[in-house]
Amino acid sequence: MAKIKPFLGVRPAADKILDVASPPYDVLNSAEAREEVKGKPNSFLHVVKPEVDLPEDIDLYSDDVYQKGRENLYKMLDEGVLIQDEKPCFYLYRLIMGNVDQIGLVAGASIEDYENGIIKKHEHTRAVKEADRIKHVDTLNANTGPVFLTYRARKDINEIVEDIIKENPLYDIETEDGIKHIFWKIDQQNDIEKILDIFADIDFLYVADGHHRSASGTKVGQTRREANPNHTGEEEYNYFLSVIFPDNQLYIMDYNRVVKDMHGNSVEDFLKKVEENFNVQVYSNSEGYHPNKLHNFGMYLDGTWYNLIAKDGTFDKNDPVKSLDVAILQDNILNPILGIGDPRKDKRIDFVGGIRGLRELSRRVDEGEAVAFSMFPTSIEQLMAIADADEVMPPKSTWFEPKLRSGVITHLLD
């Protein structure tokens, strides 16, 4: 059973929501964040990317950065830019991007469920990034970015959600990227009890996006649990901030690859090696090739787009990991031909979210990088199958859109 918890949400005052809501911390680099906050003193980037208020040469992992984030968070609370609800609540967060419409339940997710495998993972975390998030959560005493969880859709939850969204929302905004963000508070005890009862009947939750946030929230909670002789299990540090979506509403985009050099191969030699495991066809449309089915790949090389189709026998169809397109590309091109053994560490490869489009791939190759690959998106069914098998995906296998905004809701740890 999944254990979730209502909490005293920290959120923007109604007239401040557009000022506060910001992109997530990990979709902007520091230079982009500095530009983004110009003229925006209440942007939540001051909390999640606090280096924007410090010298440009600051060490991003210095204590000063985390302390600045804490200072900015509690200053926004003191000034009434952020407010805290007076009773524990659940919330609903609706995102609309074109034809994509998804509604998630905002709740505290249990670190004990994370420890026991009720919350399932499908990715490894990186030690440096995890350490950064641990220090951020611990210093600010808050989960400032939600973990994106999913579950197998249920009619009973949908019915409760449909009733609640008939009410007036707390926020209904459209951000500069055209995405609508609509937010409700669930504070009626009978609704809260219904939600708790239903989730108690859910076997598993799955981390869709936010493996570092869930790991860091859990580790901060574990440290505080060990240090508290009066620990009960109900303290706020036993839960991390999450937004939980039904699986049939999620939209996963392609997560594409760009490689900086040819690893000593000429274009001709490289194509010959690729043809050993792929059927290779020139694609005449200059806009680029976006794969429309599994085991097909786009490739942009030397001013030309190609369609690659993986040959039979080049991957294990019965292996949920090895049959992923990102694994097929890694095992048949990136590693053996381009020498990229560990894409998590190799600086010769970069990953480009599908939201940026194919033109971003061709632009980067035209400006000096060697080759780019466009991917068919990983499905939510593949993600869950791998998590159920206690396996892990290759890095950068999924790109979820639309993104949750930071600052819409925050969870304090005491």
Q: List CB contacts of 230: < 8 A, sequence separation 6 or more.
A: none
Q: What is the pLDDT of residues 94-134, one digit of tens each?
A: 999 999 999 999 999 999 999 999 999 998 887 888 999 99
Q: 310 and 240, same structural domain?
A: no
Q: 164 and 122, same structural domain?
A: yes
Report pLDDT for 112: 97
Number of domains in the chain: 2
Q: pTM for the whole thing?
A: 0.91
Q: 356 and 267, same structural domain?
A: yes
Report pLDDT for 180: 97
- Mean pLDDT for all residues in the chain: 95
Report pLDDT for 81: 98
Residue 395 lies in a domain: no
Q: 143 with 405: CB under 8 angstroms?
A: no
Report pLDDT for 284: 85
Cα–chain center distance at 189 = 31
Q: 39 and 175, same structural domain?
A: yes
Alpha helices in 229-315 (DSSP H): 267-274
Q: Which domain holds residue 353?
A: 255-376
Residue 132 lies in a domain: yes
Report pLDDT for 126: 79
Closest by alpha carbon to 182, among 35, 412, 330, 402?
A: 402
Q: Which residue has the tokens 């929230």?
A: 217
Residue 382 lies in a domain: no
Q: What would the two tokens of residue 60 be?
A: 């991003």
Residue 388 lies in a domain: no
Alpha carbons within 13 A on the beta-carbon side of 64: 10
> What is the number of other CB atoms lying within 10 angstroms of the CB of residue 200?
11
Report pLDDT for 345: 84
> What is the number of other CB atoms lying within 10 angstroms of the CB of residue 117?
11
Q: 78 and 24, same structural domain?
A: yes
Q: 323 and 283, same structural domain?
A: yes
Q: 316 and 286, same structural domain?
A: yes
Residue 302 lies in a domain: yes
Q: 273 and 355, same structural domain?
A: yes
Q: What would the two tokens of residue 57 be?
A: 């040469």
Helix (H) or strand (E) holding 301: strand 296-301
Q: 286 and 190, same structural domain?
A: no
Q: 303 and 202, same structural domain?
A: no
Q: 170 and 78, same structural domain?
A: yes
Residue 389 lies in a domain: no
Q: 247 with 152: CB under 8 angstroms?
A: yes
Residue 391 lies in a domain: no
Residue 96 lies in a domain: yes
DSSP 111: H
Q: 403 with 351: CB under 8 angstroms?
A: no
Report pLDDT for 212: 92
Question: What CATH code is carried by the domain that includes residue 290?
Answer: 3.30.1760
Q: 359 and 273, same structural domain?
A: yes
Task: Point out the residues of the chain with pLDDT beneath 70.
Answer: none
